[in-house]
Structure 1
Amino acid sequence: MKNELMEDLKWRGLLYQQTDEEGLEKVLNEEKIALYCGVDPTADSMHIGHIVPLLTLRRFQMHGHRPILLVGGATGMIGDPSGRSEERQLQTTEQVAENVKGIKRQLEMIFDFNSENGAQLVNNNDWIGSMTLIEFLRDFGKLLSVNYMLAKDNVASRLEQGISYTEFSYMLIQAADFNHLYKNYGCRVQIGGSDQWGNITTGLEVIRKTHDEEAKAFGITIPLVTKADGTKFGKSAGGAVWLDAKKTSPYEFYQFWINTADADVIKYMKIFTFLKREEIEALEVSVQEEPHLRKAQKTLAEEMTRLIHGQEALDQAIRISEALFSGDLKALTVDEMKDAFKDVPTFEMEKADKNIVDFIVESGVSSSKRQAREDVTNGAISLNGERVTDTAYEVGAADRLDDAFTIVRRGKKNYKMVKFN
């Protein structure tokens, strides 16, 4: 019998590889299980590329299963060779510990920890960190041949460039994690990105060899998310789109999603949101029949910003967006202006009162004094959202926000931030 959850995952395009599709569906139809996904703390924040397997795990929780969230305090010290062409730079113990804290906070935004099937947070340093080298080699190193490990894609793809013994050992350490969770937490399934297939199947092999013949665990991988044009998903003009509000502000986060192309937006709604099938299909009709309304993009941006940053941050992101669209910057606080105009062109000048014509010519807003006088007279120039129409106007301290910057607008959308030394 088909399983409702697995059918939904297929519809959303979230299933890439499974070790035993029929066996897993049978188990899911008969019982509620524990399953896990791991995150290595390579930075103090995850970015949106990290969260697809985690959101998939959350879907299992919403169907009554128990998620185990493994933060790799030990594996983060080693470095996963999967999907990489070169060795990772090793981090200090202190760096990894700080990164673990940041990632834990983000996981708490996504998962429910307080229900009957509340999420469990574990750190593999708690069992790997206390294991001696001799114990590891005797208990796990003897279970797999080097030939078996060399055949895995995540190792085979590195052989030409070279791979250290440290990173070569990574898959065996991750296999020990799956084995530990299977034995001590009753964990039956590991979920990961498509690059984790070799690590996951190695874990299943270790479980098979260390338990009786009835031992049954499963692996699922999620496909790599790409754009319709084949380019990499998850990058903005400023680089990665982080979950940490200090690295990518809620406004920037909201804007990333709202700028999704029509060709991608329904695919992303299936992958990233928890909206029901009928809601997504209704928005798909809107994309086809009234694309100018951008209903799907707005819904996607709202759902994702609310999930990661909360309702208050979403409200602020919408307020900034509406103020920029209308040109009514007076509705924004100084901090919101800093956020909204972080990536606009900037010009630096000394603090001094200056005639508006000289000010906009010097800052490059208008190309000449003649053009500047015309722009001011025609009402095309605004300072911090206030229109200036008098060519005799003196730009002074009252126009400097936080005594540090002024937002100049020429026309409807031509913004520049003037910073003062």
Structure 2
Amino acid sequence: MTYQSSLLQLLSSRDYIHQLTDAEGLDALAAKDMITGYVGFDATAPSLHVGSLVQIMLLRRLQQAGHKPIVVMGGGTTKVGDPSGKDESRQLITHDMIQQNIASIRRVFERFLDFDGPNAAIMVDNDVWLSGLSYLELLREVGPHFTINRMLTFDSVKLRLEREQPLTFLEFNYMILQAYDFRELHQRYGCRLQLGGSDQWGNIVNGIELTRRMGAGEELFGVTTPLITTADGKKMGKTAAGAVWLNADQLSPYDYWQFWRNTADADVLKFLRLFTDTPLEVIGEYAKLEGQDINQAKIALANAATAMLHGEDAAKAAEETARKTFEEGASDANLPTVATGGSISIMDALTRLGFVASNGEAKRKIKEGAVKVDDASVSDLQMAIAVGETPVKVSLGRKKHGLLIR
């Protein structure tokens, strides 16, 4: 359909929309009023990773279109653990650890959202209302609106059971708590929109229905984004070296830049639309590039994505480091760096730099002749690298380079 509101026009033109609960109703409301909408994020680690970035960008687009975003940190729901897409229960972490994670994660949202102004973003912690609920209160107030029959049809439950993996009663309650969040956000902040990934569709609909049954006098809405995969079918953000973290103390700005620079040709235009503010007209010009010229679009993607998260200076430094490394064969302090204490095996160097996920993979790469130390090929699987005052450069292939320091 043709949208009238700037919000849905923006989301549609940049390929964020997968499902809408009521496209016409949301479009009409967004065209005349400022909508408050939210996305929830559990705090299971000190940093979110790039797999959460499309949802962060969704909040950014909501604010860019003149609406008010709420970042809901799952201080309460993290204590339970979202079973969606998981084959086993999440490891439970303490309240203090969750709060430390939330404080660490907040720094990322301050890069993407404006917390001042007429449609200022706010960050709230659902532990504020969830931890205050008594068990009997929750059962009596919310329990009558859920049936076990319906709960068993949700993918987060059904898929776990089909794979004959245990689902704890603790996790089974997650969908109830997430639905209750929407009710609280509607009461406290007038929130009428929940956004999330396609795997959250059932939970979003659940929250809308619960809030309506518990007395909401106005229509509520839900939007989901498609599952973001790379051209080879892999889930966005999954790499052999592990998660692509958003906090700089978890992943250096240079490594973050390299992640985007290494985007496949078939993905670069999609990622420019989803993960940068690059105008669509400019992206259209990049679409005309062919052959090696596509690298111009990849560098533009890496620069824009890195500048948004880490700042313009970090993006420029990363690009310059890459240019010097690849074009001039030089080393630079912005490369990923590992302190060795004076000596390290080639296997440990490759794994600690994040170039490989295991010693087995390291052995294969060495046997393939893909590993170099200070630009000299390595063939000895047991090689020990002595590190003095001068950093030692380790390379895997043409694109991965790191430094070893004493």
Superposed pair shares fold, TM > 0.5? yes
Matches within 5 A, 1:22-421: 22-160=24-162, 161=164, 162-212=166-216, 214-286=217-289, 289=290, 291-292=292-293, 294-327=295-328, 329=330, 332-333=332-333, 336-337=334-335, 339=337, 346=346, 400-401=388-389, 405-407=391-393
Q: Which moved more, 1:43-52 or 1:3-12?
A: 3-12
Distance 1:119 1:283, change over 3 A: same
Give, in angstroms, the shift of residue 268 of structure 1: 1.0
Distance 1:120 1:302, change over 3 A: same
Give, in angstroms, the shift of residue 5 of structure 1: 2.7
Distance 1:93 1:120, change over 3 A: same
Distance 1:340 1:281, change over 3 A: farther
Distance 1:27 1:250, change over 3 A: same
Distance 1:315 1:135, change over 3 A: same
Distance 2:120 2:204 in 1: 24
Q: Which runs of 5+ in 1 are unaligned?
A: 349-380, 386-396
Distance 1:412 1:103 in 2: 33
Distance 2:213 2:146 in 1: 9
Q: Which moved more, 1:182-191 or 1:130-139?
A: 130-139
Q: Summarize deviations over 1:75-105 as a string: whole Å, max 9, x none.
A: 0110001111221111122221111111111
Give, in angstroms, the shift of residue 10 of structure 1: 2.0
Please tell me the residue identity of whatever aligns with 1:192. Answer: G
Aligned residue pairs, count: 369
Q: Summarize deviations over 1:247-298 as a string: whole Å, max 9, x none.
A: 2111111011011111110011111112221111111112xx3543511101
Please tell me the residue identity of whatever aligns with 1:174. Answer: Q
What is the match of residue 364 of structure 1? Answer: none
Contact 2:43 2:78 (8 Å CA) reproduced = yes
Please tell me the residue identity of whatever aligns with 1:195. Answer: D
Larger radius of gyration: 1
Please tell me the residue identity of whatever aligns with 1:296. Answer: A
Distance 1:182 1:414, change over 3 A: closer
Distance 2:400 2:62 in 1: 47
Contact 1:207 1:215 (8 Å CA) reproduced = no
Distance 2:147 2:392 in 1: 65
Please tell me the residue identity of whatever aligns with 1:232. Answer: K
Q: Identity of paired residues, percent? A: 38
Distance 1:89 1:312 in 2: 38
Distance 1:280 1:291 in 2: 17
Q: Summarize deviations over 1:165-199 as a string: whole Å, max 9, x none.
A: 11111011011110000111000100011111111
Contact 1:346 1:418 (8 Å CA) reproduced = no
Give, in angstroms, the shift of residue 215 of structure 1: 2.2
Contact 2:17 2:224 (8 Å CA) reproduced = yes
Distance 2:392 2:347 in 1: 10
Distance 1:345 1:13, change over 3 A: farther
Give, in angstroms, the shift of residue 338 of structure 1: 5.0
Q: Summarize deviations over 1:181-221 as a string: whole Å, max 9, x none.
A: 01110001000111111111110111110115x42100111
**Superposition TM-score, scaled by structure 1 size:** 0.80
Contact 1:251 1:339 (8 Å CA) reproduced = no
Give, in angstroms, the shift of residue 126 of structure 1: 0.7
What's the Cα RMSD here? 3.1
Give, in angstroms, the shift of residue 406 of structure 1: 3.0
Q: Secondary structure at the match of 1:159?
A: helix
Q: Summarize deviations over 1:275-328 as a string: whole Å, max 9, x none.
A: 221111111112xx3543511101110111011111221122122112202335
Distance 1:77 1:257 in 2: 33
Give, in angstroms, the shift of residue 419 of structure 1: 6.8
Please tell me the residue identity of whatever aligns with 1:400. Answer: G
Give, in angstroms, the shift of residue 17 of structure 1: 1.1
Please tell me the residue identity of whatever aligns with 1:299. Answer: A
Distance 1:345 1:265, change over 3 A: farther
Contact 2:335 2:401 (8 Å CA) reproduced = no
Distance 1:298 1:419, change over 3 A: closer
Distance 2:401 2:279 in 1: 40
**Superposition TM-score, scaled by structure 2 size:** 0.83
Distance 1:416 1:46 in 2: 24
